[in-house]
Amino acid sequence: MGKRFEPLVRSFSNNVPTSRKERREQQTSVLDEVEGTNNKNYHFDKEWKKLKQSLLKAFQPVKEMNNFIVMDDEKTDGLIVKTMKGNFEFKPDVSNMRVEYKSFSSGYLTYYFNVEQRLWLGIYDDHDLRGIVTRDVLRHHKGVPDF
């Protein structure tokens, strides 16, 4: 076989996970090794809290420029950002270990935490949550979220 095809053959022979479920299970097992725990919800809760703090920090500069109201949703442990044009809502789905993002601009999107990249990525096309939030704010408001 020529050198041209060696990387392709190697990638198929390394048991690379092909489905999102397999990737999530592999990522959780990597976290288990690193942090020494088997509780999957522990990992999700920890990363959700980090994301929530990051979102609060990111919205701080644009909050003042645009009169946003940032609130904790105590029912869902989520985060709601109220604007004059509509809301940005972030809600954890603990049972599926995902975060749901609802925006008046982008609609309803779902994200999972990618352990290797340490990012929240879209379940359908692996886009970064921070990019979509930044785009939604830029389209309709002044300023840029500070991620």
- Structural domains for the chain: 14-140 (3.30.920.10)
Helices (H), 2-119: 6-13, 20-35, 40-66
User: How do residues 80-95 score in pLDDT, each as one tens digit?
Assistant: 999 999 999 999 998 8
- Please say if the pLDDT value at position 16 is more than 60: no
pTM of the model: 0.71
Give CA angle at 81 (78, 83), nearest 5°: 155
pLDDT at 64: 86
Cα–Cα distance for residue pair 42/81, rounded to 1 Å: 26
- Please say if the pLDDT value at position 34 is more than 50: no
- Tokens 């940032």 locate to 70
- Please say if the pLDDT value at position 137 is more than 50: yes
User: How do residues 96-106 score in pLDDT, each as one tens digit?
Assistant: 899 999 999 99
pLDDT at 8: 44
pLDDT at 40: 58
pLDDT at 116: 84
User: Per this entry, what is the length of the chain?
Assistant: 147
| DSSP states along 88-122 | EEEEEEGGGTEEEEEETTTEEEEEEEETTTTEEEE
- Please say if the pLDDT value at position 31 is more than 90: no
